[in-house]
Amino acid sequence: MAVKRIVTPNKFIGLSTDTKPTMATDSRVRVGDTFYETNTFDMYVTRDGTNWSLKTQNVTVVDATGISAAMFGKPSLQWLNKGSAIWSKEHMIFSGWTAKLTGGYQSGHDDWSRVSFNVNSMPLSQLESILYAYRMTVTETVGPNISFDVHNPDAPNQWAEISYSNGAPGITKTSGWNYFNLLPASTAALFWFGDNILTSGITGNDGTTVATLATYQADAFFSTSVITKINIEWGYHSTTYLEPVFIGKIEVNDIDITLEPSAEEQLDIVRDDTAKALTTIPTWTFGTPTLLASNQASASWYRGHQIDGTYQKGATGWLAALYVKPGADASSFAEVNIPVNELPVPEFTAAIWSYLLTVSGIPAVSMIIWLHDPADMDKRCEVTQRTDHADLEAAAGWNAHELNTDTAYLYYYGENVGSPGPCVSAGTDYKWNQYTVDSVFSTWTIYRISFCWGWYGDPMPEAFLADVKLNGELIPLGPADGKHQRTVLTTKTCASSGAIAADDVVSENGSSGTDWDFKMGGTGYITRAVIASATNAITPRGVLQLYTKPPTCTKNDNAASNGPVTADIPYLVGTVAFPAMSDDGTGHSYSVATPSTSGNLPLAFDTPMLYGVLITKDTATWGQALISISLSADMQD
């Protein structure tokens, strides 16, 4: 038999009685793919894309359902708003580490922390138990609870987060060590929130309809879903400060989940941030994603948030926020770039990604595949997916797309491409299957894959890229070292046509004004703030009060400021002081606050959203004109 190269094989799963796929019946099948029989625990491999042979396997410790420890990823710690999570050496009765979770001051269910680990598409039907041991600092009215993310493996945009109520029977809330074991027959306390789930017999998205695990495992939708992440959470309460709890042990189907920080995290604990440079460079196919924006567009990393529905998706909790500004021309774009280590064009066979659109009626987040001749890099091209093709979902909310290699929606432009065929004409739509057999392009390699937002012309509100899989490999999204920059712009039209007195609020309505919202997406320092008014020749100073939740003080235009009020004090981040505005002729009046001005910058914050109240410090006629405020921050999470 001729020697064939195997690159990132696909992994199929099913019963021994199921017909195994072949290249003739499934375009995803290729040499080296495996098929795992869940009832026999046997693994098969195809050496030619047609015939399947039993694969010789090493002995692996599995549970009674055939689930192995390799299915579970390494735990990580996550938190939001006033919650916090750290690795601790306190109360070590099970292992050398515990996860110390603090709920913090609870403000409308927005404060939480958790220990979380990825799961490699474990069928929900095979979940037999999740056990965890925890130590309560004091007796509470709630305890740490379980949640897990599931989706349809054939349609990842059909997803849900299933949660066990933190106040349900069985979750002990007394001080000291306790444990909880979720079983199929445990008290009916599981509820779900999700999207695009049409076939479930369990009502969701209301937080009140509860069922047992056994009911979910027999449900029309959930019985065929797979688990992608499991969380032990602390928070999501509404009235009190939650003292720390310590998670000391987690088991799934009697398989122990090792609780310990990564090697890099341990270095960070005992040394300073320079330890982050001590990493090993592995052999790789797909590299670390980076961001790029051009002309009137911006790209930044964004930590998902419950308020806008962005935190439910994405393996890392990070999303790429892609934005094309108002008035942008057709050459403006923002994109995520993923390096590719010279992958031969015929060996790229699968891509799937999910993205959130804030409005409908606009193009989708589309893919660009960058090719070149590995022996002569003067010869290159980009293969671009047509962003407005009908096959790409473009509804408001979550969308997903799986590359269809047999759909003609990919065109190319490049340099020195020679005489390709059948992809003979630049700018003409072809199928990916045609590129993989083309006389020129099939001999080239892929050096980059991008997911792009823009090249359209009209203003395109912010879109968020959440999940990316290439050739079945998950691509983690997020800043490489936690440090990045983000600029957020918010605009309002001032309500008052006359003079606004000193220390009065400036907003869009005199009776129902709202706060200025800035979607910062994480932790950082505001280092620059710009305010501009379309009214020429005004010179007031201004103050922008910033909070971590919508303030209750007055926000009505031309009303005397009374903030911060007592109820808002716990959420006050600080203020940005704008110097007196000026103009450079007949244009807008503007002011810039920086660390070198008296603007109170840099200003630290730790919240995905900042809510502002603008106050004029001098009497001025702002006019019924557009006012814009932009905040730029050095992000450090």
Q: Give the predicted TM-score (pTM) of the model.
A: 0.50
Pair (468, 553) in one structural domain: no
How much is the average pLDDT of 468-489? Answer: 87
298 contacts 334 by C-beta, under 8 angstroms? yes
Q: Which of 345, 26, 124, 59 is nearest to 12 (CA)?
A: 26
pLDDT of residue 266: 61
pLDDT of residue 454: 84
Q: Per-residue pLDDT for 22 more than 80? A: yes
In a domain, 418, yes or no: yes
Full domain range(s) for residue 9: 1-59
3-state secondary structure 75-86: CEEEEECCCEEE
Distance (Å, rounded) from C-alpha 142 to C-alpha 7?
48
| Number of domains comprising the chain | 4
DSSP state letter for 439: T
In a domain, 138, yes or no: yes
Residues 405-419: pLDDT tens digits? 999 999 999 999 999
How much is the average pLDDT of 206-226? Answer: 92
pLDDT of residue 270: 46
Q: Per-residue pLDDT for 431 more than 70? A: yes
Q: Which helix (H) or strand (E) holds 250?
A: strand 245-252
In a domain, 629, yes or no: yes
Pair (509, 581) in one structural domain: yes
> Does residue 543 sit in helix, strand or coil?
strand
Residues 392-401: pLDDT tens digits? 998 989 999 9
Higher pLDDT, 299 or 611: 611
Residues 480-507: pLDDT tens digits? 776 778 888 899 999 998 999 999 999 9
Per-residue confidence at 105, pLDDT binned at 50, 70, 90?
A: low
Pair (245, 376) in one structural domain: no
pLDDT of residue 139: 86
Q: Per-residue pLDDT for 537 more than 80? A: yes
Per-residue confidence at 277, pLDDT binned at 50, 70, 90?
A: very low
Q: Per-residue pLDDT for 184 more than 60? A: yes
**Which range has the worst mean pLDDT, 151-160, 442-451, 565-574?**
151-160
pLDDT of residue 275: 31
Where residue 391 falls (left for φ over 0; alpha for ψ -120 to 50; beta otherwise) is: alpha
Distance (Å, rounded) from C-alpha 190 to C-alpha 588?
55
pLDDT of residue 75: 93
Rg of the Cα atoms in the chain: 27
3-state secondary structure 556-613: CCCCECCCCCHHHHHHEEEEEEECCCECCCCCCEEEEECCCCCCCCCEEEEEEEEEEE
Pair (393, 332) in one structural domain: yes
Distance (Å, rounded) from C-alpha 56 to C-alpha 53?
9
**Domain CATH code at residue 463:** 2.60.120
pLDDT of residue 47: 83
**Which range has the worst mean pLDDT, 358-362, 564-568, 616-620?**
358-362
- CA–centroid distance for 546 within its chain: 25
Distance (Å, rounded) from C-alpha 558 to C-alpha 616?
9
Higher pLDDT, 504 or 462: 504
Pair (53, 109) in one structural domain: no
Q: Per-residue pLDDT for 364 more than 70? A: yes
Sequence-distant (≥ 6) Cβ neighbours of residue 484 within 8 angstroms: 291, 300, 301, 635
Pair (348, 449) in one structural domain: yes
pLDDT of residue 354: 95
In a domain, 280, yes or no: no
Beta bridge partners of 542: 578, 616
In a domain, 282, yes or no: no
How do beta strands 11-14 and 34-37 pair? Answer: parallel
Amino acid at 10: N
Pair (208, 103) in one structural domain: yes
In a domain, 279, yes or no: no
Give the residue from 236, 268, 300 where a domain finishes. 268
Q: Per-residue pLDDT for 44 more than 50? A: yes
Give the residue from 268, 300, 317 where a domain finishes. 268
Pair (609, 628) in one structural domain: yes
How much is the average pLDDT of 463-473? Answer: 93
Give the residue from 431, 446, 480 where a domain finishes. 480
**Domain CATH code at residue 176:** 2.60.120.430
Pair (516, 499) in one structural domain: yes
The mean of the pLDDT values for the chain is: 87
Residues 294-342: pLDDT tens digits? 887 888 888 887 777 787 888 888 899 998 877 667 778 899 999 999 9
In a domain, 469, yes or no: yes
Beta bridge partners of 87: 99
In a domain, 278, yes or no: no
Residues 548-607: pLDDT tens digits? 999 999 999 999 999 999 999 999 999 999 999 999 999 999 999 999 998 899 999 988
pLDDT of residue 137: 85
Pair (615, 471) in one structural domain: no
pLDDT of residue 276: 31
Pair (85, 99) in one structural domain: yes
Pair (315, 212) in one structural domain: no
**Sign of the CA dihedral running 558, 560, 564, 566:** negative
As a residue count, the chain comes to 637
Q: Which of 236, 217, 216, 245 is nearest to 99 (CA)?
A: 245
Q: Per-residue pLDDT for 124 more than 60? A: yes
pLDDT of residue 8: 65
